[in-house]
Amino acid sequence: MGKPILEVNNLRVSFKMYAGEVQAVRGVSFTLDKGEVLAIVGESGCGKSVTAQTIMRLIPSPPSYIKEGSSILFDGKHEISKMSESQMQNIRGNEMGMIFQDPMTSLNPTMTVGAQISEGILKHQKKSKSEAMKRASELLTLVGMSNADERLHQYPHELSGGMRQRVMIALSLACNPKLLIADEPTTALDVTIQAQIIDLLRDIQEKTETSIILITHDLGVVAEMAHKVIVMYAGKVVERGTLEDIFYNPRHPYTWGLLRSVPRLDSDKNAELDSIPGTPPDLYAPPVGCAFAARCPYAMKVCKEIDPEHFHVNDGHSAACWLNHPEAPEVEMPVGIGRGAHG
């Protein structure tokens, strides 16, 4: 797939609070190749958004800080974790763009759409105001908005949620970034609009060959457009693999749980949807062993004592679960997972 655009190595991010240190991200590593779509999946509070926003250094510090030994290498030359704020300003919006979750609140209500899109262009490129506006109009057409020239002069409140998310996408693409981070881009939208936005993102990804990090808890969205998937739990990657690996041959009980909690067309309509019992651990004091052990129906003695390393399944597919240890007992994958689970 080409050489990596982003290499994250042992990323650890903590928040210093009055009550102590919240270890939101506890050693996340992954690589993203050029033109690839990586999905980060996990439930609320698993650290996926913090990971994404740390890559753009958008989380204010203090209270957050990147711990010693973390590395975020962007485009083979920029060490994001060591950059100053002004160096970051040249990268943000220019080489990396971000799409946020809620388009209702992520656009400035007192500025026209055109002004908001052209702002980034004016900052990073030597263009006049009218050139920037022209580019903004092209971008609006690219994201599928009709009458782009009129739209430029409208305010966000005159647009629907889906339209605003299109504006957000246009805005993030303004300077042809090499990396696009989409933080739950469809969560706040209607289901029908969600599909349109995903289609749009996939289209743009194919046209522009931008690398995308897609943060989501919606496995349907993952299946639609991701090439690679990492599953996060309690600030750690518990399983990584290609889309096929994760959907057809998942090796971590947490991934099983996630897959089972997606509604299926062929399931009994009266049956209750499966859910994973319990709640994620307290990240003020993460457990010693596997963080998922307390909720895991397959937990063994070793799980509560030693945190498992990643076990190699095949090339690019690994899972942090003791069940993959050669000496572990054989466990049947729950019914309904594996072949046919998606689609």
Partner 1 sequence: MLKYVLRRFVYMVITLWVIITATFFLMKLLPGNPFGEAAAKMPPENLAILKAQYGLDKPEWQQYLKYLGNVVKGDLGVSYQFPTRTVVEVIKQSFPASLELGIESLALSVIVGLTLGIIAALRHNKWQDYSSMFIALIGISIPSFVVAPLLSLYVGNKWGILPPGLWEGPENRILPAIALAFGTIAILARMMRASMLEVASLDYIKTAKSKGLATGKIVVSHMLRNAILPIVTILGPIAVNVITGTLVVESVFVIPGLGYQFVSSITTLDYTMITGLTIFYAAILIVVMFLTDIVYGLVDPRIRMSGRR
Residue type, 185: P
The dihedral built from the CA positions of residue 52, 55, 59 and 64, taken in this order, carries a sign that is positive
Q: Considering CB under 8 A, how many residues would be counted as binding partner 1?
A: 34
Our finding on whether 129 is near partner 1 (CB under 8 A) is no
Hey, which residues between 147 and 206 contact partner 1 (CB under 8 A)? 155, 157-158, 168, 171-172, 174
CB closer to partner 1, 17 vs 111: 111
Q: How far is the CB of 120 from partner 1 (least distance, A)?
A: 4
Site string for partner 1, 237-266 (x = CB under 8 A): ------------------------------
CB closer to partner 1, 44 vs 192: 44
Evaluate whether 128 touches 211 at the Cβ level (below 8 Å): no
CB closer to partner 1, 82 vs 325: 82
Evaluate whether 224 touches 140 at the Cβ level (below 8 Å): no
Choose which of 4, 42, 47, 120 interacts with partner 1 (CB under 8 A). Answer: 120
Question: Strand 64-66 and strand 228-233: pairing?
Answer: unpaired
CB closer to partner 1, 58 vs 200: 58
Residue 150: phi and psi, rounded to 5, are -70, -40
The DSSP H or E segment spanning 258 is: helix 253-260
3-state helix, strand, coil in the chain (%, to 5): 35, 25, 45
Q: How many helices (H) and strands (E) does the chain have?
A: 11, 13
Q: How far is the CB of 12 from partner 1 (least distance, A)?
A: 22
Q: Which stretch binds partner 1 (CB under 8 A): 32-40, 109-117, 194-202, 230-238?
A: 109-117
Q: How many CA atoms lie within 13 A of 164 on its CB side?
A: 24
CB closer to partner 1, 119 vs 274: 119
Token pair belonging to 228: 């690679």
Hey, which residues between 65 and 94 contact partner 1 (CB under 8 A)? 85-86, 88-94
Hey, which residues between 3 and 62 contact partner 1 (CB under 8 A)? 56, 58
CA distance 260 to 249: 13
Residues of the shown chain interacting with partner 1 in the complex, contacts defined by CB under 8 A:
56, 58, 85-86, 88-94, 97-98, 100, 102, 105-111, 116, 119-120, 123-124, 155, 157-158, 168, 171-172, 174
